[in-house]
Amino acid sequence: MSNLIQTGDNADITKERRNATFDIHDMSLFLYGSEEILKRRKEMLAFVKSKPEFNDPIPTEFMNREQRVDNGARKIVAMTDNTDEIDAGDFFGEGMYFQGLIMGRDLHPMSLHYVMFLPTIQGQSDDEQLDEWLPLTISRSFVGTYAQTELGHGTNLSKLETTATYDPKAGEFVLHSPSITAAKWWPGGLGKSANVAIVVANLYTQGECKGPHPFFVQLRDYDTHEPLKGITVGDIGPKLGFNTSDNGFLLFNNFRIPRRNMLMRYAKVLPDGTYIKPQHAKLAFGTMVFVRSIMIKDQSTQLAAAACIAKRYSAIRRQGEIKQGAGEVQILDYQTQQLRIFPVMARAFCFMFAAYEIRDLYMKVTEQLGEGNTELLPEIHALTSGLKSVVSYEVALGIEQCRMACGGHGYSQASAFPEIYAYAVAGCTYEGENIVMLLQVARFLMKAAEEVMNGKAKLADICAYLAKRGANKSRLRTADEYRGDVIIEDLEHVARNQVFRAYDSLKRKEKEMPSEEAWNKTAIELCKASRWHVRLYLAKNFLHKISTAKGAIREPLENLARLYAFDIITSSHGEFLRGGFMSEAQLDELKGGFYTLLERLRRNAVAIVDSWDFDDKELHSILGKRDGNVYSSLLDWAQQSQLNRTQVLPTFNKYLGPMMKEGRSKL
């Protein structure tokens, strides 16, 4: 608390911190896991602040794109020159935090080098390939990217048009882009920075297509950086966000690479062209599971940042009177403002705890894969696909709610909301478009439902609820008693019913039409089933996590977890009314409980977001400044605009001045 309350701070935000019912350090400790992690965060922050080469010459909001690309390249080299200051093997923890402090919310020329290229090399290269490529990757001897998505195809990998045809006489693969829509499109760093890539292409050997496989491909000359013959590559232009990143396009014209440039840990092509398939079709999913665990953590952090900004600003912004003559109140006192922001904060905690759980599951699955055990892989792949979809969507909605809760100032880039939103909303489409991800989960759920119906289900804990026989009525009596297992039972009831409702609908349609047409006509119900499956997992994990909390932090955490669950139920009340599972009186009780939770959380509103340990450098928001001195800081920020370097712009003499002079002459 001592670091958060300082002389000269805004009086309202200081009052909020003094009113907290718990020690913020204890909450931070629970959120991040250990004293050592909190200590390391402080050490890394102090180190970053001590290095002038990590600073921006002017606020990035005032840079043009060329300046941002240049600044990003400069800083990423400086950052990676100093990776000995962190545990480089802990990208989920220290790596992400270190990068965020230095690079902010924009991507950089080496984003995919570390997040996709390196994990793919580690996960899908055989031992000989690892010996060749991994040291070069780690030493930054080249800059890599991951080229999968094409102009005409993204998530539907089987229809990628880029081909890799094996020529046994030469012992080479021939990479080719047969059409414009086959152009690789979107890979970060591809446009101007990367000189190598993992390229995903449909493999052809001995006259047969064996599906999409990854290949190591050199794109540019290592010395001159000029594209190699047979390669067309460039930048795709400005985007909604990520404009420090040179996302690129790539086309091949019968470009040849050695046979051993196919990543061969699982699938292989022998010198004569014989194809050896992997032992398990989903072995290559391990890298994607890792990337999605990173995504979930990143998304939850952005949502927490948005809530932090909105709550701090709402604590210092006074507007309107609730009691006539009593003076303007903090807008955080309005119930409608609490409704906008408090559930967002609950989701941020929920999603962060899920990210940690998925990271642990990933480590477990990785260990099992090393032993040849693929039992958990389909389930964790389905779960992370669903989490990626649900979390990124709800994060995008939550950030926008927080922006609107800050009124007009939320529209300014000084607030950081445009930057946060542009950064986070991209997650709805990269690494798999959200609806497609939900439908992938649905295929897994339909298989599980089929097993239950046939009495052959061997379900892991994630899906065990599908085989349960739940009660026909909710056990909800009073909102205050509605906790833990009772909440989970009710969410399981709705999730289970939706899964089997979709299953029954699909089976009926399959009797009337081809299976893919039946799937399309059931797709909305299938997506609903996937969403409920993921919501159930999130709520169950959240409630379990907070049950381990001790001391004064337990109550606000329970209030957050119950607010999260109440929000799900009251916003989808029709599902709980079906078949009389809940009565209208029970739902009214729950709505009243929801409003009570808003009141209970009000006192700790700022302390809860303070526990995320956001430094001003990381938050990068004038509205969310620790000291609450927003208005003077907004004016200071605005004065840095390039337009304020001179009192009279050239536009006056060129256009506006003559217009006004002509207008006056006619009077």
Q: What percent of the chain has pLDDT over 70?
A: 98
Q: Among residues 94, 357, 431, 525, which one is catalytic?
A: 431
Is the predicted pLDDT of residue 572 greater than 90, yes or no?
yes
Q: Span 30-37, mean pLDDT?
A: 96
Is the predicted pLDDT of residue 2 greater than 60, yes or no?
no
- Residue with tokens 């400005």, as numbered in its chain: 238
* The pLDDT of residue 613: 96
Residue predicted with more confidence, 279 or 134: 134
Confidence of residue 284 (pLDDT cuts 50, 70, 90): low
Going by C-beta distance under 8 Å and a sequence separation of 6 or more, which residues neighbour residue 409? 313, 415, 623, 630, 634
Is 188 annotated to bind ligand?
A: yes
Confidence of residue 392 (pLDDT cuts 50, 70, 90): very high
* The pLDDT of residue 280: 67
Q: Hey, which residues does 256 pair with through a beta bridge?
A: 174
Confidence of residue 291 (pLDDT cuts 50, 70, 90): confident
- How many C-beta neighbours within 10 Å does residue 345 have? 26
Q: What is the pLDDT of residues 78-104, one digit of tens each?
A: 999 999 999 977 888 899 999 999 999
Q: Span 613-631, mean pLDDT?
A: 97
Of 83, 48, 54, 51, residue with least CA distance to 71 = 54
- How many C-beta neighbours within 10 Å does residue 633 have? 17
Contact yes or no for 12/330 (Cβ under 8 A): yes
Is 470 annotated to bind ligand?
A: no
Is the predicted pLDDT of residue 1 greater than 60, yes or no?
no
Q: What percent of the chain has pLDDT over 90?
A: 85
Structural domains present in the chain: 122-264 (2.40.110.10)
Q: What is the pLDDT of residues 36-54, one digit of tens each?
A: 999 999 999 999 999 999 9
**Mean model confidence pLDDT for the chain:** 94
Going by C-beta distance under 8 Å and a sequence separation of 6 or more, which residues neighbour residue 199? 147, 148, 162, 164, 175, 184, 214, 215, 217, 250
Confidence of residue 367 (pLDDT cuts 50, 70, 90): confident
Q: What is the pLDDT of residues 409-452, one digit of tens each?
A: 999 999 999 999 999 999 999 888 899 999 999 999 999 999 99
* The pLDDT of residue 88: 79
* The pLDDT of residue 281: 62
464: left (phi over 0), alpha (psi -120 to 50) or beta: alpha
Report the range of poorest mean pLDDT among 277-286, 303-312, 490-499: 277-286
Please give the Cα distance from 530 to 442 (Å, whole number). Answer: 6
Helix (H), strand (E) at residue 163: strand 163-167
* The pLDDT of residue 92: 85
Q: E strands within 236-379? A: 248-252, 255-258, 268-269, 275-276
Please give the Cα distance from 553 to 149 (Å, whole number). Answer: 45
Contact yes or no for 12/316 (Cβ under 8 A): yes
Please give the Cα distance from 454 to 448 (Å, whole number). Answer: 10
Q: Hey, which residues does 215 pair with through a beta bridge?
A: 199, 262
Q: What is the pLDDT of residues 176-212, one digit of tens each?
A: 999 999 999 999 999 999 999 999 999 999 999 999 9
Please give the Cα distance from 37 to 24 (Å, whole number). Answer: 15
* The pLDDT of residue 414: 97
Alpha carbon 217 to chain centroid, angstroms: 28
Confidence of residue 279 (pLDDT cuts 50, 70, 90): confident
Report the range of poorest mean pLDDT among 80-89, 166-175, 604-613: 80-89
Confidence of residue 494 (pLDDT cuts 50, 70, 90): very high
Please state, in angstroms and as integers, the Cα–Cα distance from residue 312 to each residue in 19, 380, 511, 627, following that order: 14, 37, 57, 9
Based on the residue annotation, tell me whether 35 is a catalytic residue of this protein: no
Q: What is the pLDDT of residues 462-491, one digit of tens each?
A: 888 999 988 899 999 999 999 999 999 999
* The pLDDT of residue 54: 96
Is the predicted pLDDT of residue 652 greater than 80, yes or no?
yes
* The pLDDT of residue 282: 60
Is the predicted pLDDT of residue 260 greater than 70, yes or no?
yes
| Amino acid, single-letter form, for residue 628 | G
